[in-house]
Structure 1
């Protein structure tokens, strides 16, 4: 529906522009046509036009407008009178060509300043819109057409910098360079930087229409526009505008259309309106405009379209808005409006489109809705509306789309009221507290024909019978209900030719009414039956399938080789079933489209299939989750070609391999979980000096057989863990960008990454991971050596688990820098020395464990440390403090920098490191004390006692 509306708007704009051209041309030539006199012509101009024609080829794909046709085919040398040619207009007195309308003429080819077009010096009106000039630059020779008053080069694949020469066309009243962009990728071909927008329009003070949408302008809106008193249309949609929008532009005396939507960095606010305005359309949607709507907005009494969706407006919707009696489209969605819908809206009887979704609007749905008899689209979803749906809705016989989902609406609802609304094709009622009631009598074929139907979370206990009469459904959502038992056969016969999306997840369905099932919907793209109790083999979808989610069921058997032929498959989620056998190796054939592969919690065995190839740049794979299966062998080396891969989870399998350092070059990898396998050996230092795993947020190597020292080079290259800056507090996920999914509530648009964090033997499942979170788990291996100080630079760490290894040395003081840390587990190692007082700075730590080491001294006091019990510190004979109910030998209330318990070699080693710091400082600065301290190091035990005594004396002096 949204796509159709967008296409309709584009076509409407194009038709309007062509109409304006013809009005301008016909006004100039009205006398000629009134007297039906054929004006004489200039033979040289006919020649110029014929040469211009010959420089192009006719290609029907060069124009996008449905009514396009090649006007120049009628031009020929036999009919030399160019004034009679299609698209050509001549002055009746001079015979000169003054107008050339070649819009939508299927022209394909390049154009430059040598074109004979620019020899037609008398032209006043020129339109080359909706052709394909093959990424040519707008020729600078355009300046030769100095008499131009109308210039339209829109939608014709012009490229590069807009030439400064256009600013010399002082007579221009209409200038349109819009829509020179790729409609599939939204890449803009034209840019306006040198000259800038401000410079280009400086001398174009006669402008009435300026249409620059979809040009890369990247600047502020010039304040000089406030002086363009003739300006009627100003359209700057999606131009990467920034800065504050000049409010004086709102007050231009002749302004009718102002559109600056889809410029996210453009800020502004509504002014107060003291006089009546000529504005007909106002489009500010998806910008940074904010503030309140002024009560004086009723002065815009000519307004027909108001679009401010996706801004930051707040407060109550003013009652005065209901005085805009001519308004047909009112788009206020995705703001922060509060309070009930104003009762004055009942006066907006011309409304065809009302969008209030995603606000904080309260109260009930007003029963005067029946007055809006012309309304076609009504979107009230994602608010705080409550109470019943009024019966007056059934009076809206022109209503095509109704969306009330995600509110607090309640009560029993007679669904038959919607079946009698013959125009209604899209109905969304999900995520409320409604209970739907259906008539008991049979329903016939004269009812409404839906193409989109959302009845999710509507307390249904069975499939509604009226669905059997629906043959045009494209989307059907019955998720989150209480539908029990088997899926009836008649459901499989519903809308066989049209259905694209089916979501019946989160019910109590047990299976299909037959042993093996091939899904009958020939155009099905989404199939979601997750979180049911389905038994039996995997259903087989059609080749068109894109999202296939049967997770959290009781399906059994093997994966059919037929899935290998599904080349459009985007998400393949079989997790948490009873599936077994080997995964077909041909599944890798779908890797160019496959983005999410989730097979976790089944009984798959054998070697993991090779996915991606050495042409991996074409691969879309973002997430691989094979955890909790019985996979054997090694990780496929072909994964190194999956250049978009963000998450790898292969935990709890039977893999035997070395550390996959070859994955370090993947530019997007954020999640690497190898937990509980047979990975083994020393992790070698990377062969290349470049950063490895630079975007990694989560690494879990726990419960394997890794040995040796963990290379510090890897820690220093984990750049993503060093920053706590957020991308708007997003969750890590595989993004789904296709437009049909974004406009649908049939599925989540993202596949969120999840993981399990283990601390003190307790597993914590994170269903989502914020983009600023970082987790490191190297526990249950045989890592040796000391804990690297570099861990202290990973400021985004939420959890650090190094437990159950063979680590020695001190706890680094730098860990005190990890101020966002929530869990720290260093237990069951061979750590020595004291617990650093700096760790008391960890204000968010809930889980702390240093048990079963060789730590000594007083346990730090204060902040979170006062909440930890004895289990966090047990197994350290040299520790003392309140948590262990063991007093330290010192009477000082403050922690001693050195333990008074029995001397320990490990503790002395920590002290030696501290002294070496003094020695180095002394060496560098030339101070004799540094050298003296170096001599004392000969005897460690003597050094320990001497240094403790020395520092104690210094403390007394101070």
Structure 2
């Protein structure tokens, strides 16, 4: 399922808090001199500072910290004493400038080695953090400031290689080059490769604080850091680190903060702790650390934050962890911990954050959790917890977020216990076996003001009345319940100004209790009402909408031109309704944002809108197009060749008339092409240029069209993705996607393909398709010539269907190399010769059909062939063998037996046309979602029809 929770808002808040803390630390260095007699600075240093000021533009946007202000504006030649200037510190005796704090000073511009800054040779402390130095390099002239003990260049848009000259600053105790990166794209601006990490720090043995977070280091953590006995802070977040982390670093005598999170290729384990440890904050999130937590972890008795979410730790959570009485944040989610929640956790009375999500925790929720009254965030989701939710949870008066979704919790739950928790804003109960009970008499004095509320699959039969008194909801999930009838009018007045996401999918809703079809929520970003019984016209969302899913209903009428105003539309799913008319061509204007367009199984007609036509080739984000089972006419839009991230095209069962779209072959990400049952026609020409086309294709279905001639072997040779059984990193075939709802919420996931392959009347259903599978269907056309030997190189093939064509020659023995093949259909052609003995190597073939050809000789015996019945071989008068109950004549000449007159007559009747094809029963089958502080899970269900997409947020 790949569910991930992206706590974007929390992370950004922590980053700013960390920056603020650094500012406070540095500012305190100056504060100690505030009451001293102010010295008089030197004229040359005053002049140097003024020239340094003049080299920049003051721009408020150059700093991110909300408390930023331009300190240098106060600097003036009229104020002769620079020691009185904001951000400047002077030596009390000599008057030399020894400190410069321009943190968050709104400076924009570049710094070169000629800057007058580097003439301040007495400077000891320098902070230029949180400015914008316009992608300039850190000047090598920094080495001239040889007395520096404090250097902070974080958050300042420096770019390129970190200069070797920093390694000459032997007096440094504080070095921070972190977060010189783009926070939106997460591109790292600084790199540390030459010199390497090890080379740069080897001489900086006095370091107490080292922060290289978000620098592209791409190396191992040097073991020599374990000799830096003065080190207090080591922050190496998201640095592309790899290899094994030196365990001796854990034992540094003064270490207080160790953060190496978001280095997925960094492995390591916890050592045994034999002495009390000074660690306050340990952050290993999303690394390759593994093993068990040692029982000696109680020696970290100063620890306040332990963050190991998203690692590979396993085993039981040690009881000794409950002895860390000072801990405030315990983040153990997304590991492989087993067993119950240790009872010793009831001693952790200072806890504010407890995260155990996505483990294998068992037992019941312990009642003593209600005694941890300082908890603000509690996440026990996606475990194996059973039994009821204890009433004691209502005692957590400071609780802001409670996540219990996707466990095995059961029983009747009185929901009013949550309504009296005044701090509770985020509540997730989805995906359990709970039955919610509400008081029959509702009041408008509800204490709780929910922002995110997940009540999916909670056995609701109606909309809870308390929702009518909620006016701050941002995210509401009621999917997968038993709510029937119309959506009540009062519900349409709930949180009209704040609601961003509403999921009411998979219920029994029939419509809206109002005349207008315009949805009332003015800031709505996600609307999912799929898998209901909605009737009437298509509801109209506000222009802000990003994801709109009303698939699998009974909606009718046309698509309103009001959808032309929705320029941010990302997912648009109308499949499996009774909609008709022409699709507004204005939808092509949304192609820069549109990722999924699913209109299958309706009655749309006319030409297909031009998509990607007005945008650059790289601008479009369109990944999946499903227009199947409609009445579209004309040609495929040639503009689709501009959709450079397009992964899937399904236009089956329409009235399209066109030649083979070879021009789609240049799309670098195309993995699925389904043209089944249309009027595509003509000879598929050999590509004019000798280049690989459709190189990433996994599924191609050209069946039931009017193609003629020889299928070019060049295409088969270029299907590189079908040649390997090695996974490319994706568990299932699907289109990855992500988008931001706001600065606080981000969603990511994938649309996973599902399909049904039909052969000899037998359906083989694939709910998901592993990324190493491949399918080829060229059946029911008029292809001629011989079957290419190159098919034998497509080792990822699970199904090959060439039936009902005009193919001649023999069956290539190379098909015996397709050892993973599950279905092979060569029936109703003009194939001759014998069935190759090599085909007995196909150990996984469940369906096999070579009927109605001109094959002769003995049917091979052994392996799967012994399980095939006569229908697999009938209509070949020259074949003989046990399957046909026809013995082969013995002859020294080894000639194939000739048919009798009766057999010849029996095969003389005209061949009935057999339509066989891939049937894509539900193309976007699973939508896997990661949400920041939100309750969303996407699920796809395969129902009758084509391209079923269903969003069930839990």
Give TM class, smaller chain. over 0.9
In structure 1, the partner of 2:950 is none
Report how far residue 799 of structure 1 moved. Answer: 0.7
Could you tell which deviates more after superposition, 732-741 or 120-129?
A: 732-741
Partner SS for 1:313? strand
- Cα distance, 1:723 vs structure 2: 1.5
Does structure 1 residue 901 correspond to structure 2 residue 897?
yes
Deviation at 1:898, TM superposition (A): 5.3
Q: After superposition, what is the alpha-carbon deviation per residue over 1:291-342, rounded to whole angstroms, capped at 9, x for unaligned?
A: 0100100000000000111111011000100000000101111111111111
1:288 correspondence with 2:288: yes
Q: What CA distance in whole angstroms lies between the structure 2 residues aligned with 1:854 and 1:691? A: 35
- Asked whether the equivalents of residues 733 and 753 of structure 1 are also in contact (C-alpha less than 8 Å), the reply is yes
Matches within 5 A, 1:355-504: 355-504=355-504
Q: Relative contact order: is structure 1 or structure 2 higher (C-alpha 8 Å, sep ≥ 6)?
A: 2
* Aligned twin of 2:238: 238
1:47 and 2:47 equivalent?
yes
Matching residue of 2:908: none
CA–CA distance in structure 1, aligned partners of residues 294 and 727 of structure 2: 34
| Aligned-partner Cα distance in 1 for 2:173–2:895 | 87
Q: Deviations over 1:854-896 (max 9, x none)?
A: 11222222222222222111111222222222222349xxxx9
Equivalent pair of 2:9/2:745 in contact (CA under 8 Å): no
**2:694 corresponding residue in structure 1:** 693
Matches within 5 A, 1:574-593: 574-593=574-593
CA distance in 2, matches of 1:708, 1:721: 23
The answer on 1:639 being equivalent to 2:640 is: yes
Q: How far 1:83 sits from its partner (Å)?
A: 0.3
| Counterpart for residue 918 of structure 2 | none
The question of 1:789 aligning with 2:789 is answered: yes
8 Å CA contact retained: 2:557, 2:581: yes
Match of 2:12 among 3, 7, 12: 7
Partner of 1:630: 631
What is the SS of the residue equivalent to 1:616? coil
How far does residue 444 in structure 1 lie from its aligned partner after superposition? 2.0
CA contact (8 A) 2:775 2:798 kept: yes
Contact in 2 for aligned 1:213/1:236 (Cα 8 Å)? yes
- Where 1:511 maps in the other structure, the secondary structure is strand
Q: Once structures 1 and 2 are overlaid, which stretch shifts more, 235-244 or 876-885?
A: 876-885
Contact 2:820 2:843 in 1 (8 A): yes
Q: How far did residue 729 of structure 1 move?
A: 4.3
In the alignment, what sits opposite 1:730? 731
Partner of 1:947: none
Residue 23 (1) aligns with residue 28 (2): yes
Question: 1 CA distance for matches of 2:743 and 2:707?
Answer: 44
Question: Per-residue CA shift, 1:322-370, capped at 9, x if unaligned?
Answer: 0000001011111111111111110111010011001111111111101
Assess if the C-alpha contact under 8 Å between 2:409 and 2:434 holds in 1: yes
TM-superposed CA distance for 1:516, in Å, is 3.7
Corresponding residue number in structure 2 for 1:327: 327
> Residue 40 of structure 1: CA displacement?
2.1
Output the CA distance in 1 between the equivalents of 2:504 and 2:735. 22
Shift of 1:456: 0.1
Deviation at residue 24 of structure 1 after TM alignment = 3.0
Counterpart residue number, 2:811: 811
Check the 8 A contact 1:315/1:337 in 2, yes or no: yes
Alpha-carbon distance in structure 2 between the residues aligned to 1:413 and 1:72: 61
Post-superposition offset of 1:740: 4.4
Given that 2:177 and 2:211 are in contact with CA atoms closer than 8 Å, whether structure 1 keeps it comes out as: yes
1:658 alignment counterpart: 659
SS of 1:814's equivalent in the other structure is: helix
Distance 1:785-1:38 versus aligned 2 partners, 3 A rule? same
Aligned counterparts of 2:363 and 2:806: Cα–Cα separation in 1: 63
1:104-123 equivalent positions in 2, closer than 5 A: 104-123=104-123
Aligned to 1:944: none
**8 Å CA contact retained: 1:575, 1:601:** yes
Q: Given the two structures, how large is their TM-score scaled by the length of structure 2?
A: 0.92
Alpha-carbon deviation of 1:748?
8.2
Match of 2:264, SS state, is strand
Distance 1:311 1:899, change over 3 A: farther
Q: Deviation string for 1:783-816 (max 9, x for gaps)? A: 1111000001111111100011111111111111
Partner of residue 911, structure 2? none
Which residue of structure 2 aligns with residue 933 of structure 1?
none
Distance 2:394 2:810 in 1: 74
Task: Indicate if the aligned counterparts of 1:851 and 1:876 stay in contact, CA closer than 8 A.
Answer: yes
**Which whole-Å CA distance do the structure 1 matches of 2:502 and 2:890 have between them?**
71
Distance 1:743 1:841 in 2: 55
The answer for unaligned runs of 5 or more in structure 1 is 905-958
1:741, distance to aligned residue in structure 2 (A):
9.6
Residues of 2 paired with 1:612 and 1:792: CA distance? 37
- Indicate if the aligned counterparts of 2:878 and 2:899 stay in contact, CA closer than 8 A: no
| Conservation of the 8 A alpha-carbon contact between 2:525 and 2:741 | no
What is aligned with 1:345? 345
The 1-side partners of 2:399 and 2:353 are apart by 9
Contact 1:890-1:900 at 8 Å conserved across structures: no
Equivalent pairs counted in the alignment come to 894
| Separation in 1, partners of 2:525, 2:537 | 20
Report if the CA contact (8 A) 2:446-2:469 is conserved: no
TM-superposed CA distance for 1:750, in Å, is: 2.6
Counterpart residue number, 2:170: 170
Question: 1:149 corresponds to which residue?
Answer: 149
Question: Aligned partners of 2:895, 2:823: CA distance in 1, in Å?
Answer: 26
Quote the offset at 1:767 in angstroms.
4.2
1:128 — aligned with what? 128
CA 1:748/1:308 → structure 2, altered by over 3 Å: closer, same or farther? closer
Q: For the Cα contact (< 8 Å) 2:828–2:851, is it kept in 1?
A: yes
| Inter-partner Cα distance in structure 2 for 1:889 and 1:357 | 69
Describe the SS at the equivalent of 1:749: strand
- Measured in 2, the distance between the counterparts of 1:764 and 1:551 equals 24
Per mean C-alpha deviation after superposition, the further-off stretch among 327-336 and 749-758 is 749-758
Deviation at 1:770, TM superposition (A): 2.3
Instruction: Give 5+ residue unaligned stretches, structure 2.
Output: 1-5, 901-954
Larger C-alpha radius of gyration, 1 or 2? Answer: 1
- State whether structure 2 residue 835 is matched by structure 1 residue 839: no
Check 1:743–1:183 CA distance in 2 against 1; reply closer, same or farther (3 A cut). closer
1:5-24 per-position Cα deviation (integer Å, ceiling 9, x unaligned): 11221111011111221233
- Residue 138, structure 1, aligned to residue 138, structure 2: yes
> Per the alignment, in what secondary structure is the counterpart of residue 681 of structure 1?
strand
Alpha carbons 1:742, 1:749 under 8 Å: kept: no
Rounded Cα–Cα distance in structure 2 between residues aligned with 1:897 and 1:670? 49
Q: What SS does the corresponding residue of 2:67 show, helix, strand or coil?
A: coil
Structure 1 residues 303-318: aligned runs within 5 Å: 303-318=303-318
| Separation (CA, whole Å) in 2 of partners of 1:368 and 1:750 | 39
Q: Is the CA contact 2:261–2:283 (under 8 Å) kept in the aligned structure 1?
A: yes
Give 1:206-217 correspondences, 5 Å limit. 206-217=206-217
**1:794-841 per-position Cα deviation (integer Å, ceiling 9, x unaligned):** 111111000111111111111111111111111111111121121121
- Kept after mapping to 2: 8 A contact 1:607/1:633: yes
Q: Mean alpha-carbon deviation: is it higher for 766-775 or for 550-559?
A: 766-775
Q: Is the contact between residue 647 and residue 753 of structure 1 (CA under 8 Å) also seen in structure 2?
A: no
Counterpart mapping for 1:151-230 below 5 A = 151-230=151-230
Counterpart Cα distance in 1 of 2:742 and 2:697: 28
The 3-state SS of whatever aligns with 2:687 is coil
Structure 1 partner of 2:249: 249
* Alignment-derived partner of residue 904 in structure 2: none
**Structure 1 residues 454 and 736, CA gap change in structure 2 (3 angstroms):** same
Q: Using a 3 Å threshold, how does the CA distance of structure 1 residues 731 and 819 change in structure 2: closer, same or farther?
A: same
User: Cα offset for 1:478?
Assistant: 0.2
Is 1:862 paired with 2:862?
yes
* Structure 2 residue aligned with 1:943: none
SS at match of 1:285: coil
* Partner Cα separation in structure 2 for residue 537 and residue 716 of structure 1: 48
**8 A Cα contact 1:741 1:749, kept in partner:** no
Query: Are 2:671 and 1:670 equivalent residues in the alignment?
Result: yes
